[in-house]
């Protein structure tokens, strides 16, 4: 960490900063410039806040030289992280396609959707059973019954299931069912939840918060990794800006930036990132062209009857078209859609 | 709710919307305009999403006529909500001043601060014991020991204590100690936590999320109110924008807008809203001038040694100056600083 | 336009609104609902502000049924606008690649760059001669001398030249040299300039403002179109958000949204949209995959010596790589890179 | 300027940076740390971009030690700038109140408004004659006729007039009439216009752009100051954020931040900053409480008939109430409303 003193800092203020650095177990390196004095704080600083020094008298600013995250950083882990999800692999050359409804609404709805997206080329199934709804009066999910329906869908189609967890109190129940825990945008900084997931050994799909910076997303991943769970997938899902023509603004820049900063797999959610079924395919193609490792897409057999997110859900036939387009882009990028892990149950 | 059909909507699409309205238990009111057809959905619609109708074929847009929140709305509760916090009242003519350190760091630190802010005119004490930190490597709070220190400070100074809760798993423990539950910006949409707090009968200080709209803040309040807990204080604490000169951007507009939309008390946190001790007093004065019902301010006896938020913490003497200025503005507004509820313990 | 009255609006307020509508030359269509009264204002309303009615007593809100822009709208012009730029065509099946330095710095610099980008596959040359610089102390451009260098580059390479205009006072001079007028982000709402360009019959490349909505971009295009100049190219170049990892946030959603709303060609500037040469190729690919009609890219023979925008400028060899990638994506989309219009001058 | 090299920078890269510094006429100060090498570029750097060095090989980041603006900076001019506007003074202890309609609509409208605001306590009159309208179909202002009406209002009331200039082509005409040139938010970075105004010796009221940072506002002021015109008033008028409950978000933090960074007077426009007449008084009070040197407020005798901005315009009687409240806050701040400079013409 580099501490830049004010031009008029006194020798005592400088000495005070040096003492402060030593007290925190770091080495201090003093450099007397013409305009100002610079003090380097040398050692393990990724776990320190710049504020530790910013508050000291005579300090003008503090610059971080090393990143505040470590386990998530490509500096310390140059190779891509590749890990298996129940049969196929994520983070390598293969593109993962997760698809399914926003909410599990009924047994028939999730089974119908599962078979349709599997047929179209998806390799994992999503579906919410605990729903974070802005209004306390909205449908809040089927709970455990929903998990049972998802498990049945997995058995029939061979696809692993991806389900959102909202609270660490749901952890024990969900551990019995889910293959991948999804952490939603609103919970990206629910640190208690992140810590609890770090204790598990299940893959976590971590969505970027509505107004979280890329660095904050990586810091949240660090919470999970610090617990020993190395299987974290990052997901760009649009950020909140002044533009109202779409539900969110897809931060497509985040794809190459994240691939540069971290070894973790990075996927994109074009459904939330746009909020309109009409724009999902274009943004799905863009994501793969920009270097994303996969997509998570909302698909519903009858969007007009969906209890949530119908406006941004693709009908299965539209999803199938999207998969074809994405496949063609993937090939140009020298990649392919990951195959489904387990065999399909015949005779459904 | 008002459904505006596309100019070329077919009679069957219109009929389909009407049927949909009836199925949801509402009455439909059809109005055939020259350019387009309008359909009113009449009844209890505050608990419905506009999306229910937006996804139907032929629908152009859906406009909400009534607000999506009800219990929080001034339409249904024109009088200000006024409720007691351990002796004094919030939401009425009195201004509440909550002050204290970001984190409880030690017994002596919190006792010293408590006496100092009490002397300066504060009427409630804040202090965090479970800290939401961006980095997993940062200090995470003293936990129950911190609560014990706070309880001792309350006993000595007579001031009620305001403590942040991060997860419903902390609820039982905290219920034994705290007077006011604070919900932090990152948890404003932790709906499980909001629901749990709605079941209690303790006051909740609900902070606006970093990128939450005013309407979303009121929807989160609605979650607590819907559980039967009527004691909710709203808190503007700055929003995230492109401006980097300050930590956040104080949305001062939110004060008169909230006072117009809701009957709940509205306070402002000038410490987080600016991020710099130098700007806290100016924004504190502005908040009261704009009509806020109180302030929550970070005060630390030695900001340079604070484990967190030192940069934005006032020294006790600076806080005392701020209180004088705020008092003068309050008088112009025809208000006064609330007195402390319980007597001060002598002989400390 | 649809005027929604407050639930408690009086008959006189309703009558007042009706009179107001008639005075503006529109027809009024009254619809008495159960909860509220709706009044349609029928006629040519795209040139009216909703505010005309919002300020009237008893009015709750005003909803626009038709778009505020007309000449730019796909509703009134369903086919793509396709127009020639000195030999090749923009807005049709071909992808246009505009490349060159931020600023024209010298004769040799612009000639070297022009030949390099032409060889790599560009079909138009960009270069600034009047530079909008944040600091009054920065290099402000070569002025007319720069235009002469650009004209020489055009003669040698056959590529049309794209130059930014900052003020209508520069119009007469520039008309003698440039093929395409570029309007920069900071001037997107310089309405005097837009009107002046509407009077010309040269193509205008209109960049989206830093914090302009998509609708505002289309309204600015409408200014040019209203003057009779039909040759407007829209350009997404990143918007300002809270994210600081990149210079701007590429609003990739804007590509499919604009292609849906307007018939005008839409291109993307990955250099400004990211601010880093490392990310330009990924975003260029994403733009074409999302449906953009072209790209404008900063290329400099020696970015480290560039007087401006060096950090985001590609070296010619990097640009050549980018063109190959973009070409492959274009083919997947069933498109091709537009050929250069005029023949190359041999013997340079 | 401080250049931080990458940890693995080669000696040749370091030497290259040093040479680069010397070529730009600065001195280089090398400091070899343990983790990295730091190079100071010493001398007149406020007129240099950090990019000059960021693009060099081996450079990690470049930190500015001195501010990029100089004439506007309080560092170089610690005392407040105080200058006269036709009789009274701005920037000192007095608060300036500028009021009037968005647009001059007719002789009678502007005269009526001028007398009303003068009577209520305003000391300067605003009114637009060239209007920057989002739509090319909207009313664009009365032009010179409007200036004549304003001049008449000045003669009758003794108040100086503040008028927006949109283009340097309007300068000669306006110089004959106006006392204060207003530069609107959309033109804050119209550098040609700023330079032209820097050549005049008339006061310039410079509004912050919709998404301009505080630093960019000061850089735009620097353009005017660099031309020799020292009379610049800065104006916060709300920034664009995700919040839609108000037209803009008042950045109240900007008031104390600007007062800290610059010696120039700082005022606030509560009309544009909120967009609703109902919220104007609250934000006007907040501005003065936060330390603003004045206000510019939209007032219209009949907002419902205003051709523009009616929704945010105060009726004269509401404005008179606002002035009383602002006066009381000003007194608490130890200030007073500036008196009107010239005598009132009797017998109108």
DSSP state of B262: B
Q: Do C184 and C288 belong together in one domain?
A: yes
Smallest CA–CA distance, residue D292 to chain B, in Å, is 10
Considering Cα of A156, then A162, then A165, then A171, what sign does the dihedral take? positive
Gap between the Cα atoms of D72 and D204, Å rounded: 14
Q: What is the CA D135 to chain-centroid distance, rounded?
A: 24
Contacts of residue B60 in chain C, CB cutoff 8 Å? 65
Q: What is the CA C9 to chain-centroid distance, rounded?
A: 43
> Of D31, D63, D95, which residue constitutes the final position of a domain?
D63
Q: Decide: residue D64, CB within 10 A, 0-12 exposed, 13-18 middle, 19+ buried.
A: middle
> Closest partner residue to D42 among A27, A34, A65, by Cβ?
A34
pLDDT exceeds 80 at position D48 = no
How many other C-beta atoms are found inside a 10 Å radius of the C-beta of residue C152? 15
- Secondary structure E strands in chain D: 2-5, 27-32, 37-42, 59-63, 83-85, 88-90, 94-100, 124-126, 161-164, 180-183, 203-207, 232-236, 266-268, 294-298, 336-337
What's the whole-number mean pLDDT along residues B330-337?
96
Contacts of residue C245 in chain A, CB cutoff 8 Å? 213-215, 253-254, 257
Four-CA torsion C145, C151, C153, C159, nearest 10 degrees? 150
- Nearest residue of chain B to residue A47 (CA atoms): B137
Gap between the Cα atoms of D141 and D106, Å rounded: 10
Gap between the Cα atoms of A339 and A94, Å rounded: 8
Q: Grade residue A181 by pLDDT with cuts at 50, 70 and 90.
A: very high
Residue to mutate among C217, C284, C290, with most A CBs inside 10 A, is: C290
Q: Grade residue A346 by pLDDT with cuts at 50, 70 and 90.
A: low
Contacts of residue B214 in chain D, CB cutoff 8 Å? 243, 245
Q: What is the pLDDT of residues A122-180, one digit of tens each?
A: 999 999 999 887 778 777 899 999 999 999 999 999 999 999 999 999 999 999 999 99
Residues 6+ apart with CB under 8 A from B96: B85, B88, B90, B123, B124, B265, B267, B293, B294, B295, B338
Q: Do C33 and C179 belong together in one domain?
A: no
pLDDT exceeds 60 at position B345 = no
Q: Grade residue D347 by pLDDT with cuts at 50, 70 and 90.
A: very low
Q: What is the CA C109 to chain-centroid distance, rounded?
A: 27
Residue contact D253–B273, C-beta within 8 A: yes
**Paired tokens of A115:** 């078979």
Q: Grade residue C307 by pLDDT with cuts at 50, 70 and 90.
A: confident
Distances (CA, A) of B199 to A136, A218, B219: 13, 35, 17
Residues 6+ apart with CB under 8 A from D326: D95, D97, D284, D285, D288, D295, D337
Contacts of residue A283 in chain C, CB cutoff 8 Å? 252-253, 256, 290
Residue contact A55–B137, C-beta within 8 A: no
Gap between the Cα atoms of B68 and B26, Å rounded: 16
User: For tokens 């990690």, what's the residue?
Assistant: D60
Gap between the Cα atoms of A102 and A305, Å rounded: 12
Q: Does C292 or C44 have the greater pLDDT score? A: C292
User: For tokens 């400390």, what's the residue?
Assistant: B348
% of chain A beyond a pLDDT of 70: 96
Residue contact C40–B40, C-beta within 8 A: no
Gap between the Cα atoms of D36 and A251, Å rounded: 32
What's the whole-number mean pLDDT along residues B226-247?
96
pLDDT exceeds 60 at position B72 = yes
pLDDT of residue C66: 75
> Of A32, A63, A94, which residue constitutes the final position of a domain?
A63
Gap between the Cα atoms of B94 and B74, Å rounded: 20
Q: What is the pLDDT of residues A1-36, one digit of tens each?
A: 888 888 889 999 999 999 988 888 888 888 777 677
pLDDT of residue D308: 83
pLDDT exceeds 80 at position D340 = no
Gap between the Cα atoms of C237 and C252, Å rounded: 10
Cα–Cα nearest to D133, from C195, A153, C180: C195
Q: Which domain holds residue D263?
A: 83-337
Q: Grade residue D269 by pLDDT with cuts at 50, 70 and 90.
A: very high
pLDDT of residue C343: 59
* Residues C329, C288 contacting (CB under 8 angstroms): yes
- Nearest residue of chain D to residue C16 (CA atoms): D304
Length of chain D (residues)? 348
Smallest CA–CA distance, residue B55 to chain D, in Å, is 23
pLDDT exceeds 90 at position D191 = yes
Ranges A64-73, A172-181, B235-244: which has the least confidence: A64-73
pLDDT of residue D348: 42
Let me know if residue A72 belongs to a domain: no
Three-state SS sequence of chain A: CEEEECCCCCHHHHHHHHHHHHHCCCEEEEEECCCCEEEEEECCCCCCCCHHHHCCCCEEEEECCCCCCCCCECCCCCCCCCEEECCEEECCCEEEEEEECCECCCHHHHHHHHHHHHHHCCCEEECECCCCCCCCCCCCCCCHHHHHHHHHHHHHHCCCEEEECCCHHHHHHHHCCCCEEEECHHHCCCHHHHHHHHHCCCEEEEECCCCCCHHHHHHHHHHHHHCCCCCEEEEECCECCCCCCCCCECECCHHHHHHHHECCCEEECHHHHHCCHHHHHHHHHHHHHCCCCEEEEEECCCHHHCCCCHHHCECHHHHHHHHHHHHHHHHHCCCEECCCCCCCCCCC
Smallest CA–CA distance, residue D198 to chain A, in Å, is 31
Angle at alpha carbon of residue B159, lines to B156 and B165, rounded to 5°: 110
Predicted-complex ipTM score:
0.92
How many other C-beta atoms are found inside a 10 Å radius of the C-beta of residue C70? 18
Gap between the Cα atoms of A288 and D269, Å rounded: 46
Residue contact B61–C61, C-beta within 8 A: no
> Of B33, B63, B93, which residue constitutes the final position of a domain?
B63
CATH code of residue C10: 3.30.70.1140
Q: Do D56 and D87 belong together in one domain?
A: no
Q: Grade residue D345 by pLDDT with cuts at 50, 70 and 90.
A: low
Residues 6+ apart with CB under 8 A from A228: A198, A199, A201
pLDDT exceeds 60 at position D346 = no
Gap between the Cα atoms of C278 and C49, Å rounded: 44
Q: Do D114 and D256 belong together in one domain?
A: yes
Residues 6+ apart with CB under 8 A from D188: D206, D207, D208, D209, D212, D216, D217, D220
pLDDT of residue C265: 98
Rg of chain D's alpha carbons, rounded to an integer?
23
Cα–Cα nearest to B180, from B125, B221, B118: B125
pLDDT exceeds 90 at position B281 = yes
Gap between the Cα atoms of C18 and A124, Å rounded: 57
Q: Do A201 and A331 belong together in one domain?
A: yes
CATH code of residue A230: 3.20.20.70
Let me know if residue D220 belongs to a domain: yes
**Paired tokens of A69:** 């995250």
Q: Grade residue C116 by pLDDT with cuts at 50, 70 and 90.
A: very high
pLDDT of residue B341: 61
Ranges C58-62, C282-286, D288-292, D321-325: which has the least confidence: C58-62
Q: Do D230 and D135 belong together in one domain?
A: yes
Gap between the Cα atoms of D56 and D39, Å rounded: 13
Q: What is the pLDDT of residues C175-224, one digit of tens each?
A: 999 999 999 999 999 999 999 999 999 999 999 999 999 999 999 999 99
Cα–Cα nearest to C305, from C128, C103, C143: C103
Contacts of residue A65 in chain D, CB cutoff 8 Å? 4, 7, 35-36, 60
pLDDT of residue C283: 98
> What per-residue string of b and e applies to A122-152 under the rule 16 or more CB within 10 Å gives b?
bbbbbbbbbbbbbbbbbebbbeeebbbbbee
> What per-residue string of b and e applies to A48-76 under the rule 16 or more CB within 10 Å gives b?
bbbbbbebbebbbbbbebbbbbbbbbbee
Q: Do A15 and A90 belong together in one domain?
A: no
* Residues C121, C337 contacting (CB under 8 angstroms): yes
pLDDT of residue A194: 96
Q: What is the pLDDT of residues B155-186, one digit of tens each?
A: 999 999 999 999 999 999 999 999 999 999 99
* Residues A6, A12 contacting (CB under 8 angstroms): no
Distances (CA, A) of D94 to B20, D80, D164: 63, 12, 23
Let me know if residue A211 belongs to a domain: yes
Cα–Cα nearest to A268, from A247, A248, A283: A283
Residue contact A167–B167, C-beta within 8 A: yes
What's the whole-number mean pLDDT along residues D254-273?
98
- Most confident range, picked from A308-317, B139-148, B281-290: B281-290
- Nearest residue of chain B to residue C7 (CA atoms): B65
Q: Decide: residue A78, CB within 10 A, 0-12 exposed, 13-18 middle, 19+ buried.
A: exposed
User: For tokens 């408690």, what's the residue?
Assistant: C8
> Closest partner residue to A132 among B134, B168, B191, by Cβ?
B191
Smallest CA–CA distance, residue D51 to chain C, in Å, is 7
Contacts of residue C211 in chain A, CB cutoff 8 Å? 242
pLDDT exceeds 90 at position D306 = no
Smallest CA–CA distance, residue D332 to chain B, in Å, is 6
What residue spans of C125-205 are helical by DSSP H? 144-157, 171-175, 191-199
Q: Do C226 and C303 belong together in one domain?
A: yes
Gap between the Cα atoms of A158 and A115, Å rounded: 10
What's the whole-number mean pLDDT along residues D326-330?
98
* φ, ψ (nearest 5 deg) of residue B166: -105, -20
pLDDT of residue D341: 61
Q: Do A89 and A39 belong together in one domain?
A: no
Let me know if residue A231 belongs to a domain: yes
Let me know if residue B348 belongs to a domain: no
Q: What is the pLDDT of residues A202-249, one digit of tens each?
A: 999 999 999 999 999 999 999 999 999 999 999 999 999 999 999 999
**Chain B: which residues have CB within 8 Å of chain C?**
2, 4, 7, 27, 29, 31, 33-36, 38, 40, 42, 60-61, 63, 65-66, 211, 240-242, 244
Residues 6+ apart with CB under 8 A from D184: D132, D164, D166, D207
Let me know if residue D294 belongs to a domain: yes
Let me know if residue D178 belongs to a domain: yes
pLDDT of residue C164: 97
Q: Do A91 and A29 belong together in one domain?
A: no
DSSP state of D339: P
pLDDT of residue A199: 96
pLDDT of residue C347: 46
- Number of CB pairs, chain B paired with chain D, less than 8 A apart: 123
pLDDT exceeds 90 at position D229 = yes
Answering whether pTM is above 0.90, one says: yes
pLDDT of residue C348: 42
| Residues facing residue B204 across a β-bridge | B181, B232
Q: Do D141 and D266 belong together in one domain?
A: yes
Q: Do A188 and A319 belong together in one domain?
A: yes
What is the count of structural domains for chain A?
2
Let me know if residue C278 belongs to a domain: yes
Residue contact B35–C35, C-beta within 8 A: no
Helix (H) / strand (E) element for B206: namely strand B203-207
């Amino acid at each position: 960490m580099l501490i830049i003193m004010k031009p008029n800092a006194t020798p005592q203020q400088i000495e005070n900063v040096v003492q402060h650095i030593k007290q925190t177990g770091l080495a201090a390196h003093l450099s007397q410039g013409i305009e100002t004095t610079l003090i380097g704080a040398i050692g393990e600083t990724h776990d320190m806040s710049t504020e530790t020094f910013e508050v000291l008298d005579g300090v003008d600013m503090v610059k971080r030289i090393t990143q505040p995250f470590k386990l998530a950083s490509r500096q310390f882990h140059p190779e891509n992280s590749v890990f298996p999800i129940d049969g196929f692999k994520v983070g390598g050359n293969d593109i993962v396609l997760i698809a399914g409804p926003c909410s599990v609404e009924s047994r028939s709805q999730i089974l119908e959707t599962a078979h349709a997206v599997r047929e179209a080329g998806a390799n994992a199934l999503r579906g919410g059973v605990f729903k974070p709804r802005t209004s306390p009066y909205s449908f809040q999910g089927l709970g455990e019954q929903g998990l049972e329906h998802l498990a049945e869908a997995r058995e029939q189609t061979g696809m692993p299931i991806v389900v959102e967890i909202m609270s660490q109190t749901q952890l024990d129940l969900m551990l019995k069912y889910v293959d991948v825990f999804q952490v939603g945008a609103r919970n990206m900084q629910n640190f208690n939840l992140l810590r609890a997931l770090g204790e598990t050994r299940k893959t976590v799909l971590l969505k970027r918060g509505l107004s979280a910076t890329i660095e904050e997303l990586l810091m949240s991943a660090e919470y999970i990794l610090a617990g020993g769970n190395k299987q974290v997938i990052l997901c760009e899902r649009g950020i909140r800006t002044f533009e109202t023509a779409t539900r969110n603004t897809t931060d497509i820049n985040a794809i190459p930036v994240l691939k540069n900063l971290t070894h973790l797999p990075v996927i994109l959610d074009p459904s939330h990132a746009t909020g309109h079924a009409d724009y999902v395919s274009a943004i799905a193609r863009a994501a793969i062209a920009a270097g994303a490792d996969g997509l998570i897409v909302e698909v519903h057999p009858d969007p007009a009857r969906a209890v949530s997110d119908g406006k941004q859900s693709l009908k299965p036939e539209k999803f199938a078209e999207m998969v074809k387009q994405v496949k063609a882009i993937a090939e140009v990028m020298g990649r392919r859609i990951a195959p489904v892990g387990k065999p399909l149950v015949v005779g459904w």
